[in-house]
């Protein structure tokens, strides 16, 4: 009983102290008028399975915010990062997003990696009208008023990669291997339709799905090897995600599949993932991205130097989604300056048409479909785990958020400018609302 | 000296003069930034007979060939830079101005083919054999004259056979070969067998009807053979997967099977073993790189000690208070597994750590139509050794005797003067230590990340329950069964559905036989 009373007294004291500070606060503020900071939400998993990829993105956001504050902040106010940890738990993403928007009152959120986490937070952003910057390459087939997609749509990554293999490696037979979830399934559906449109026979396409974190690749690699010995040049298009890649590449190396025989082009393997493997057996396998750390230009060099200094680790690598956040953040800053306010509704309108330098030596622009223009780079893995750019598009590519190769989406476009202001406008029926009539 | 002679022989071959005639400097093309030009230059260089051709192309393969601003080609070696054209040592090179010669897959293919033709006369039979295999794959008719010379000069029967196969492949690719020769070539390739032979026969175009028919027939025969082999191959894959499951589950067979502790942190013991391997390798890389090939032998006992010690701490600090309360144990150890994961994540970072594979564990060997990778083979042997050692400990040591006594009848054992709490701690430590050793093996085939253990915990419980709790032989049989069933279902149903089928089968089995395949009998079980 005594302890409870003691505890109650503690609360009483604390309340009194709080009251005192709130009374005193205005006087203090009157002397040095510092406007409240602009809060920015960072919604990346810092624990659980996705921490491997997402922790880096949290760090790069903190670096960008610090950098902006050194330049004097934004609209005369400092920026303040609010970091939450959705712990690789998809429903928790929605909860944490709501907390960021309604409790912390952030001006914009940078976050998510997997498509399922994006789908989980989408209703929250559409309901509250806030902004999400999504930095990862994804399957497309979506355009939300409240989301800005700074990663690649399939036509900004997968299709150019297939074109490259067809033209330069004369590939005639295709293995589409992926992890069993929405991004690989949709991407492979698009690729399959695309390949068939290019005259590839159904017999020459092999599709294979594996569970998340698959680690025993023996017979799948053996069947790829067998599929590849039908006398036609064969390539593997890999949408294998995350941790499953390392055992997959190890098995390829051990079974003696070299890039010169059956090249593998991967869409989810970047510098960060390669840092965890012995890359010698992988030399020559391909990746397709919109940015490589090895890209040689002053902006990228400065970014890498800044990143290494910020993390105090000279071995840290940079990767494509980091560049996407770099572009997204700079676009948001420009849009806020243009709108003169951080009010999400005004910033969303100001975003379209904003153009900022990317790290590959060009400019990326925000298009009316809320996706950005990007160059596409094809790289070969080098022995040091970096990519050697062997091909790149001459300019930037505009995203097809709705794939023209899929039945359900070929008539759809997204345009968030007035008066259309629609994410799934059907050009055949002339109505907003998707493929259904 | 022999090598030099070989190049002279090559230089005298008929192909040399025309290649020389095309351009004065065959090296110049290498400095281009167009991949097609570079690969053409490689091919021309190989045929030129220049004595610097082999070192230059080897350097290109190792990405050690650079161009200087003045058009000079340099080879970077251990002792500084060498002029590629003359072989002369160069001093005072401004490294910043050098640009690496660009390589892509096209260039790599040209390099492999070129080295194939250059190395046909090497002194080591192994290198000659590799060269002949490269020629078999590149099937360039231009190499045919060199190949005939090499076959005539060859002393090793095995290498000569590979050379003949390479000759057959190149003959089929040449438009000038007569039909009889082509038919003979198809027969040689059919006799060779293997996926490369199938690939070659499948790619034949524009042949006479007789040749096409012979190739088709050979292809069907090889296909049938291949299918037989693939059945055996599936069994081997299954054994390999089974041995991985066995390793992961062996520790759990002690902590859960013998002691009855539902240990959800078992996977994290495996993960700690894998991180121990990483730390051992980091130290070796920094202090004693020559020891790297033996790093795993050092890591195995260390992983056992580290995981075992952590296991003892967990038993004394947590589990001993929860005996007889399975639900609380489950929740507490599950919480512990999250704590351990996050602790490792904070210490080592969230990303994967690079655990290297020693040379002797890389690559694969061919047994007839079977491919067996060395890392998997090592793990099968290692799993068998771990299980044998574990059984020996339980059967023949004083500690094992006490463990069995305590698990069979705790009160009687205590009455006989055995310190049962101490034995509990040691048994848990033994189970955890074995999980740590499993971690060393898994670091060779899986990611070393904080999530490593999660992927194995469910499989481990499945193996132990299916085999019969408390029975090590049961664990062995169940691990191998699950592995083989999995590998036979995978090609038919796909990896995802295959896993689901295995789970459904297991549920049905447990419904019928709740105590698993080999249940323990007797009074102890009834308690």
- Provide the CATH number for the domain around residue A207: 3.40.50.2300
Of B199, B454, B486, the CB nearest to A231: B199
Q: What's residue A347's pLDDT?
A: 95
- CA–CA dist A126, A135 (Å, integer): 18
B71-76: average pLDDT: 85
Of A226, A247, A260, the CB nearest to B446: A247
How many residue pairs bridge chain A and chain B with CB atoms within 8 Å of each other?
156
Chain center to CA of A56: 12
Q: Is there a contact between A218 and B351 if contact means CB atoms under 8 Å apart?
A: no
Q: What's residue B362's pLDDT?
A: 84
Other C-beta atoms lying within 10 Å of the C-beta of residue A348: 21
Q: Is there a contact between B200 and A231 if contact means CB atoms under 8 Å apart?
A: yes
Task: Report residue A23's pLDDT band, with 50, 70 and 90 as the boundaries.
Answer: very low
Q: Closest chain A residue to B360 measured between Cα atoms?
A: A254
- CA–CA dist A294, A323 (Å, integer): 13
B57-72: average pLDDT: 85
Residues 6+ apart with CB under 8 A from B167: B144, B147, B148, B151, B185
Task: Report residue A191's pLDDT band, with 50, 70 and 90 as the boundaries.
Answer: very high
Tokens 């291997």, residue?
A177
| Residues A283-313 pLDDT 10s | 889 999 999 999 988 999 999 999 999 999 8
Asked if A326 and A356 count as a contact pair (C-beta separation under 8 A), the reply is no
Which residue range is the domain that position A414 belongs to? Answer: 407-437
Q: Is there a contact between B203 and A254 if contact means CB atoms under 8 Å apart?
A: no
| Residues B401-440 pLDDT 10s | 998 888 888 888 899 999 999 999 999 999 999 999 999 9
A193-211: average pLDDT: 93
- CA–CA dist B508, B504 (Å, integer): 6
Q: Would you kindly state where each structural domain of chain B is located, as residue ranges?
A: 2-123, 241-454
Residues 6+ apart with CB under 8 A from B508: none
Q: Is residue A247 situated within a structural domain?
A: yes
pTM: 0.82
Q: Is there a contact between B447 and A256 if contact means CB atoms under 8 Å apart?
A: no
Taking contacts as CB-CB distances below 8 angstroms, the residues of chain B near A55 are: 349-351
Q: Is residue A386 situated within a structural domain?
A: no
Q: What is the DSSP string of A69-109?
A: HHTT-BTTB-EEEEEE--TT-HHHHHHHHHIIIIIS--SEE
Q: Is there a contact between A255 and B203 if contact means CB atoms under 8 Å apart?
A: no
Q: Is residue A99 situated within a structural domain?
A: yes
B470 conformational bin, left if phi > 0, alpha if psi -120 to 50, beta if neither: left
Q: What's residue B19's pLDDT?
A: 39
Q: What's residue B300's pLDDT?
A: 96
Asked if B334 and B265 count as a contact pair (C-beta separation under 8 A), the reply is yes
- CA–CA dist A370, A398 (Å, integer): 11
Of B109, B199, B487, the CB nearest to A229: B199
Q: How many helices (H) and strands (E) does chain B have?
A: 21, 7
B127-131: average pLDDT: 87
pLDDT of A435 higher than 80: no
Q: What's residue B522's pLDDT?
A: 52
Whole-number percent of chain B with pLDDT over 90 = 33
- CA–CA dist A326, A344 (Å, integer): 19
Q: What's residue B12's pLDDT?
A: 46
Taking contacts as CB-CB distances below 8 angstroms, the residues of chain B near A269 are: none
Q: Is there a contact between B352 and A277 if contact means CB atoms under 8 Å apart?
A: yes
Of A230, A231, A276, the CB nearest to B351: A276
Taking contacts as CB-CB distances below 8 angstroms, the residues of chain A near B447 are: 215, 243, 246-247, 276
SS3 content of chain A, % helix, strand, coil (to 5): 40, 20, 40
Backbone angles phi, psi at A392, to 5 degrees: -155, 155
Three-state SS at A332: helix
Q: What is the DSSP string of B24-59?
A: S-TTGGGG-S-HHHHHHHHHHHHHHT-TTHHHHHHH
Q: Is residue A272 situated within a structural domain?
A: no
Asked if A400 and A391 count as a contact pair (C-beta separation under 8 A), the reply is no
Torsion of CA B411, B416, B421, B423, to 10 degrees: -120
When divided into structural domains, chain A yields a total of 3
HSE-CB for A353 with a 13 A CA cutoff: 7
Three-state SS at B406: helix
| Residues A397-427 pLDDT 10s | 999 999 999 888 888 999 998 888 898 898 8
Residues 6+ apart with CB under 8 A from B218: B186, B187, B189, B190, B201
Three-state SS at A377: strand
Claim to verify: residue A116 and residue A173 sit in the same structural domain: no
Q: Closest chain B residue to A255 measured between Cα atoms?
A: B364
Chain center to CA of B91: 41
| Kind and range of the H or E run holding A289 | strand A286-289
Q: Is there a contact between B373 and A277 if contact means CB atoms under 8 Å apart?
A: no
Interface-testing mutation among A53, A216, A232, A388, with chain B (most B C-beta atoms within 10 A)? A216
Q: What's residue B81's pLDDT?
A: 86
Q: What's residue A229's pLDDT?
A: 86
CA distances from A237 to A216, A228, B10 (A): 19, 13, 41
Q: Is residue A278 situated within a structural domain?
A: no
Claim to verify: residue A59 and residue A130 sit in the same structural domain: yes
Compute the nearest-CA separation of B401 from chain A (Å): 37
Q: Is residue A11 situated within a structural domain?
A: no
CA distances from B369 to A216, A228, A361, B157 (A): 20, 16, 51, 21
**Nearest of A113, A246, A267 to residue A178 by alpha carbon:** A267
Q: Closest chain B residue to A383 measured between Cα atoms?
A: B63
Give per-residue burial for A108-124: e unless 16+ CB within 10 Å, then b: bbbbbbbbebbebbbeb
Claim to verify: residue A93 and residue A127 sit in the same structural domain: yes
Q: Is residue A138 situated within a structural domain?
A: yes
Q: Closest chain A residue to B349 measured between Cα atoms?
A: A52
| Residues B152-162 pLDDT 10s | 888 888 889 98
Claim to verify: residue A182 and residue A88 sit in the same structural domain: no
Claim to verify: residue A196 and residue A235 sit in the same structural domain: yes
Q: Is there a contact between A216 and B102 if contact means CB atoms under 8 Å apart?
A: no
Other C-beta atoms lying within 10 Å of the C-beta of residue A90: 16
pLDDT of B148 higher than 60: yes
pLDDT of B15 higher than 50: no
Taking contacts as CB-CB distances below 8 angstroms, the residues of chain B near A207 are: none
Four-residue CA torsion sign, B45, B46, B50, B52? positive
Q: Is there a contact between A243 and B63 if contact means CB atoms under 8 Å apart?
A: no
* DSSP 8-class letter at A271: H
Q: Is residue A119 situated within a structural domain?
A: yes
- CA–CA dist B254, B428 (Å, integer): 7
| Residues A369-392 pLDDT 10s | 999 999 999 999 988 888 989 999
- CA–CA dist A147, A254 (Å, integer): 43
B434-453: average pLDDT: 91
Q: Of A375, A390, A419, which one is at a domain's C-terminal end? A: A375
Q: Is there a contact between B199 and A380 if contact means CB atoms under 8 Å apart?
A: no
Of A47, A256, A275, the CB nearest to B351: A275
Taking contacts as CB-CB distances below 8 angstroms, the residues of chain A near B495 are: 208-211, 214, 220
């Amino acid at each position: 009983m005594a302890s409870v009373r003691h505890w109650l007294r503690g609360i009483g004291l604390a309340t009194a102290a709080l009251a005192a500070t709130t009374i005193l606060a205005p006087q203090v503020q009157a002397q040095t008028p510092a406007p409240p900071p602009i809060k920015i939400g960072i919604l990346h998993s810092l624990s659980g399975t996705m921490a491997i990829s997402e922790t880096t993105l949290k760090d790069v956001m903190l670096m960008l915010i610090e950098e902006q504050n050194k330049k004097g902040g934004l609209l005369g106010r400092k920026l303040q990062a609010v970091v939450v940890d959705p712990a690789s738990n998809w429903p928790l993403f929605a909860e944490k997003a709501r907390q960021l928007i309604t409790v912390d009152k952030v001006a914009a959120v940078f976050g998510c990696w997997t498509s399922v986490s994006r789908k989980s937070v989408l209703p929250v952003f559409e309901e509250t009208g806030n902004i999400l910057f999504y930095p990862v390459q994804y399957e497309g087939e979506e355009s939300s008023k409240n989301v800005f997609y700074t990663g690649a749509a399939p036509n900004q990554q997968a299709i150019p990669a297939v074109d490259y293999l067809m033209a330069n490696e004369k590939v005639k037979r295709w293995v589409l291997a992926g992890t069993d979830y929405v991004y690989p399934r949709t991407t492979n559906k698009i690729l399959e339709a695309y390949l068939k449109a290019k005259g590839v026979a159904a017999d020459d396409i092999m599709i294979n799905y594996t569970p998340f974190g698959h680690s025993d690749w023996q017979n799948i690699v053996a069947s790829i090897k067998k599929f590849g010995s039908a006398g036609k040049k064969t390539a593997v298009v890999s949408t294998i995600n995350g941790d499953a890649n390392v055992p997959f590449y190890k098995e390829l190396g051990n079974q003696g599949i070299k890039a010169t025989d059956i090249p593998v082009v991967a869409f989810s393997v970047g510098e960060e993932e390669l840092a965890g493997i012995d890359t010698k057996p992988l030399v020559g396998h391909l990746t397709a991205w919109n940015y490589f750390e090895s890209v040689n230009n002053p902006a990228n060099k400065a970014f890498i130097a800044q990143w290494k200094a910020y993390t105090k680790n000279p071995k840290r690598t940079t990767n494509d989604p980091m560049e996407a956040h770099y572009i997204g953040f700079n676009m948001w800053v420009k849009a806020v300056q243009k709108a003169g306010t951080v009010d999400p509704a005004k910033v969303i309108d100001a975003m379209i048409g904003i153009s900022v330098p990317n790290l590959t030596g060009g400019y990326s622009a925000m298009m009316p479909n809320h996706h950005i223009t990007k160059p596409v780079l094809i790289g070969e893995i080098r022995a040091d785990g970096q990519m050697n750019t062997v091909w790149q598009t001459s300019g930037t590519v505009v995203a097809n958020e709705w794939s023209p190769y899929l039945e359900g989406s070929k008539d759809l476009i997204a345009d968030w400018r007035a008066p259309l202001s629609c994410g799934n406008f059907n050009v055949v029926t002339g109505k907003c609302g998707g493929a259904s009539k | 000296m022999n090598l030099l002679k070989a190049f002279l022989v090559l230089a005298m071959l008929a192909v040399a003069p025309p290649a020389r005639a095309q351009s004065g400097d065959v090296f110049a093309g290498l400095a281009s930034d167009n991949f097609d030009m570079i690969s053409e230059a490689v091919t021309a260089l190989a045929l030129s007979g220049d004595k610097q051709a082999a070192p230059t192309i080897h350097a290109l393969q190792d990405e050690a060939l650079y161009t200087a601003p003045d058009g000079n080609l340099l080879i970077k070696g251990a002792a500084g830079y060498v002029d590629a054209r003359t072989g002369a040592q160069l001093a005072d090179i401004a490294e910043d101005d050098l640009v690496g010669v660009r390589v892509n897959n096209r260039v790599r293919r040209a390099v492999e083919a070129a080295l194939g033709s250059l190395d046909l006369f090497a002194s080591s039979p192994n290198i000659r054999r590799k060269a002949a295999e490269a020629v078999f794959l590149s099937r360039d008719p231009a190499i045919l004259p060199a190949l005939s010379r090499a076959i005539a000069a060859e002393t090793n029967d095995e290498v000569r056979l590979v050379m003949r196969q390479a000759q057959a492949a190149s003959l089929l690719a040449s438009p000038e070969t007569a039909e009889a020769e082509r038919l003979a070539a198809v027969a040689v390739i059919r006799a060779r067998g293997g996926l490369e032979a199938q690939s070659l026969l499948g790619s034949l175009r524009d042949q006479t009807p007789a040749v096409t028919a012979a190739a088709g027939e050979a292809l069907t025969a090889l296909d049938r053979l291949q299918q037989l082999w693939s059945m055996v191959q599936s069994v081997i894959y299954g054994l390999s997967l089974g041995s991985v499951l066995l390793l992961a589950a062996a520790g759990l067979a002690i902590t859960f099977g013998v002691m009855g502790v539902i240990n959800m942190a078992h996977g994290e013991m495996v993960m700690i073993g894998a991180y121990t391997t990483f730390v051992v390798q980091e130290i070796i890389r920094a202090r004693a790189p020559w020891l790297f090939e033996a790093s795993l032998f050092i890591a195995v006992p260390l992983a056992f000690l580290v995981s075992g010690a952590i296991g003892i701490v967990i038993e004394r600090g947590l589990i001993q208070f929860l005996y007889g309360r399975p639900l609380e144990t489950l929740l507490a150890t599950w919480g512990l597994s999250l704590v351990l994961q996050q602790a490792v994540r904070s210490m080592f970072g969230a990303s994967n750590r690079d655990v290297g594979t020693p040379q002797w564990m890389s690559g694969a060997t061919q047994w007839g139509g079977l491919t067996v990778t060395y890392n998997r083979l090592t793990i099968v042997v290692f799993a068998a050794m771990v299980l044998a050692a574990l059984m020996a400990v339980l059967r023949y040591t004083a500690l094992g005797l006490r463990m069995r006594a305590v698990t069979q009848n705790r009160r009687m054992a205590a009455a006989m003067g055995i310190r049962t709490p101490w034995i509990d701690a040691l048994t848990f430590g033994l189970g955890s230590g074995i999980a740590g050793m499993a971690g060393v093996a898994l670091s060779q085939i899986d990611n070393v990340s904080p999530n490593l253990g999660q992927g194995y915990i469910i499989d481990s419980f499945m193996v132990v329950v299916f085999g019969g709790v408390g029975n090590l032989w049961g664990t062995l049989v169940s691990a191998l069964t699950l592995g083989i069933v999995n590998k036979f279902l995978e090609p038919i149903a796909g990896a995802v559905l295959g896993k689901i089928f295995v789970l459904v089968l297991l549920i049905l089995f447990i419904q019928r036989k709740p105590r698993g395949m080999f249940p323990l009998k007797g009074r102890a079980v009834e308690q």
